[in-house]
Amino acid sequence: MNPLTQLSEDERLFAETVRQFSREQIAPLVRPMDENQQMDAALLHSLFGLGLMGIAIPEEYGGSGGTFFDAVLAVEEISAVDPAVGVMVDVQNTLVAAALLRWATEEQKKKYLPRLAADTVGAYALSEAASGSDAFALQTRAALRGDACVLNGRKLWITNAKEAGLFIVFATVDASAGYKGITAFLIEKGTKGFTIGRKEDKLGIRASSTCELILDECEVPAAQVLGEPGKGYKIAIETLNEGRIGIGAQMLGLAEGAWGHAAQYAKERRQFGRPIADFQAMQFQLAEMATEIEAAKLLVYNAARLKDAGLDFRKEAAMCKYFASHAAERVASLAVEVFGGAGFVRDYPVEKLYRDAKIGKIYEGTSFMQLATIAKLTL
């Protein structure tokens, strides 16, 4: 076994626990959740109950006290069954909880981390209509009024928005300062002037909610600022670097799930009196898929290990996100071909995984942005 993919005994047992949970409790819900575009409420409760929504949150705040790598393993195993559930767990752990652990005051940690570990979904609200790859071209404004800040604007493409009870919202407090005027705010669901808008009707990961947020004279106390005023850009950059490893893990898990379905089907499907897995062409196709998965795993695990070791992982995070998302799309596509006509209908799981794979090259930094980062840090 390659040292980079070798797990400790605790990591192996954790991964096996999540794998069993995913197969027993998530798998039966995949199709109805996809068709209804809704996360199952009982499943969400189970995710909290198993500690998967607060993996790296220290035990003193009610979390599982695990590592970032543990969170990556969980996202991988869950995404092999349903990437829509995988991204919910990913955003909770690698973006929202990670940002609070690094940037929140002790009072904020005591207030929100136990809730994130126990029953509160978190969401990360950066994107807007005019700020995608140009992440800091924010139009949402925050004006200081006494001891409070009043926010006005709209956010788009916010994952977990429908289920979330806590949002990290980025807004500009000083437009003349450019990106140095961006500030992060902690806003709770139900805050006056804060509304969840339209839910997107998506191609894939349909059980994962993606909604618009509307801020209309939304007043939040100054104590709800996350980090320092004007440092929101730094919070966004650093947490997104970690989040890219999480998306790499999601895409890795998706590819592993697609390969598993394809390999099993190839052993069962018979043509010309033999299982199609006996034909060299099919063996080569499955071997090519397995090779891309192994390469993606090496990149994802390496980036996660570097992050846990406190070493620079920016280049590796971009590489793993870039490669794993491309590998997932290709593996899922080939899995559909292994199934033939059966892979093109919703009766078999590879059709959904193929739809789910497309988002990997788009969100949390497009493939072009990952290449730009890789080029900058290597050249």
Q: Taking 60 as the threshold, does the pLDDT of residue 59 lie above it?
A: yes
Mean pLDDT of 108-133: 96
Distance separating alpha carbons of residues 100 and 10, to the nearest angstrom = 26
- 60 alpha-carbon distance from chain centroid: 25
**Catalytic site includes residue 316:** no
φ/ψ of 291, rounded to 5, equals -65, -45
Q: Over pLDDT 70: what percentage of the chain?
A: 99
What pLDDT does residue 136 have? 83
Q: Taking 90 as the threshold, does the pLDDT of residue 292 lie above it?
A: yes
Handedness of CA 97, 173, 189, 134 (dihedral sign): negative
Q: What is the CA radius of gyration of the chain?
A: 21
Q: Taking 90 as the threshold, does the pLDDT of residue 99 lie above it?
A: yes
φ/ψ of 153, rounded to 5, equals 150, -175
Residue range 209-223, pLDDT digits in tens: 999 999 999 999 999
Distance separating alpha carbons of residues 102 and 106, to the nearest angstrom = 10
List, in order of start, the domains of the chain with CATH numbers.
Answer: 9-120 (1.10.540.10), 123-230 (2.40.110.10), 234-378 (1.20.140.10)
Whole-number average pLDDT of the chain: 96
In sequence order, what DSSP letters do the residues of 186-245 get, joined into one string?
Answer: EEETT-TTEEEEEEP--SS-TTS-EEEEEEEEEEEEGGGEESSTT-HHHHHHHHHHHHHH
What pLDDT does residue 1 have? 57
Residue range 166-210, pLDDT digits in tens: 999 999 998 888 889 999 999 999 999 999 999 999 999 999 999
What pLDDT does residue 146 have? 86
Q: Over pLDDT 90: what percentage of the chain?
A: 94
Q: Which of 37-41, 99-103, 136-140, 373-377 has the lowest mean pLDDT?
A: 136-140
Q: Which of 242, 292, 329, 364 is catalytic?
A: 364
Tokens of 197: 């808008």
Q: Taking 60 as the threshold, does the pLDDT of residue 11 lie above it?
A: yes
